[in-house]
Amino acid sequence: MNLAMQINYAGDILATVEEVCAYEAAGLDLVLVAEAYGFDAVSILGYLAAKTTRVALGPGILPIYSRTPALIAQTAAGLDYVSGGRAVLGLGASGPQVIEGWHGVAYDRPIARTRELIEICRRVWRRERLQNSGLFEIPLAGGTGLGKPLKLITQPLRERIPIYLAAIGPANVSLAAELTEGWLPIFYLPEQAAMVWGDAIAKGIAQRDPSLGDFDIIAGGLLAIGDEEEALELARPQVALYVGGMGARTKNFYNDLFRRYGYGDLAEEIQELYLDGERDKAAARLPIDLLRRLNLVGDEGFVMERVRAYAASGVTTLMVSPAGQDPLGSFSRLRAMVDRL
């Protein structure tokens, strides 16, 4: 089992990069840089490429609407080159709140756009000519008719850069299993993953090209080994934000996920409280048992149980956010645990 971390888009990025170097030395395999409406991920990834030597690097995620497919392909190829072949490309549809509210772009046809983007990226990396004339499901809007078929000028280091898709809806999860090297779910409950996503994954795997290799599932949560109840409490605001406030009452993908987990009444209550401005009350409603199952916080025996649960559910890369009094120490102990699996 590999180990991954995600860098948030807030806080002191330069200090965080120095921390990543320490985690790389402790056995970190992959670092992903989030991008929402803070700093962009690409600038930070370029800096990380210069400061690290071994760890794989990628955005987690680039929204599919904020850049053209060709630019996303160029960006991934550039990161792969400056990092010496360590790039991965994390993609996701995000949601209307960010795409329409921040980027000012219509949030439409996410499945078709994702499929098209993946195909275009791989054609760019193979240095095939792009015509962008409605070859796929999304037709070219407007234009002068003077477009010229072009291919990437520079030779990419690799013609296959691993693509990871962030997804929680059944259609998007199925697409990830069919077309990409890996999947990035959020708020992953190992014990209920098969119930919620099993059919979607099976459908995608059935149509998967064997040349893509094994399907890598990257999931996890906060990490703190020891008596770290205060570390677990750090998860409350984030879960409440997503379940309660990341979207509108009528369209919140994360709220829908918790309903599919069987927490329908709780999801509704948290959303009502959050959207009414009662954020602390919304966070307080989250059961401590649910937070424990979403994270890896507790004594070494408990954390090992959670690691085994993730592995048994199909997770092949454990994504952790080290917290508590000794985050690097917790990570080093986790590295030793997974190496014994």
- Return the bridge partners of 4, or none: 30, 319
- According to the model, what pLDDT value does residue 228 have? 72
Fold of 2-223+298-340: TIM Barrel (3.20.20)
d(CA 265, CA 6): 30
User: Which tokens in the block code for residue 319?
Assistant: 């994504």
Q: Which residues of the chain have pLDDT under 70?
A: 9, 132-143, 227
DSSP state string for 236-293 = HHHHHIIIIISSBTTB-HHHHHHHHTT-HHHHHHHHHHHHTT-HHHHHHTS-HHHHHH
d(CA 76, CA 161): 8
d(CA 187, CA 83): 30
For the chain, percent of residues with pLDDT exceeding 90: 86
Helices (H), 86-158: 96-99, 110-125
Name the residue among 74, 4, 15, 69 with its Cα closest to residue 47. 15
- pLDDT tens digit sequence for 100-153: 999 999 999 999 999 999 999 999 999 999 876 554 545 566 667 778 889 999
- pLDDT tens digit sequence for 212-257: 999 999 999 999 998 677 889 999 999 999 999 998 888 899 999 9
- According to the model, what pLDDT value does residue 169 have? 95
* Domain extent listing, the chain: 2-223+298-340
**How many CA atoms within 13 Å lie on the side-chain side of 341?**
22
**How many CA atoms within 13 Å lie on the side-chain side of 25?**
8
Burial 59-81 (b: 16+ CB within 10 A, else e): bbbbbbbbbebbebbbbbbbbbb
Burial 314-334 (b: 16+ CB within 10 A, else e): bbbbbbbbbbbeebeebbbbb
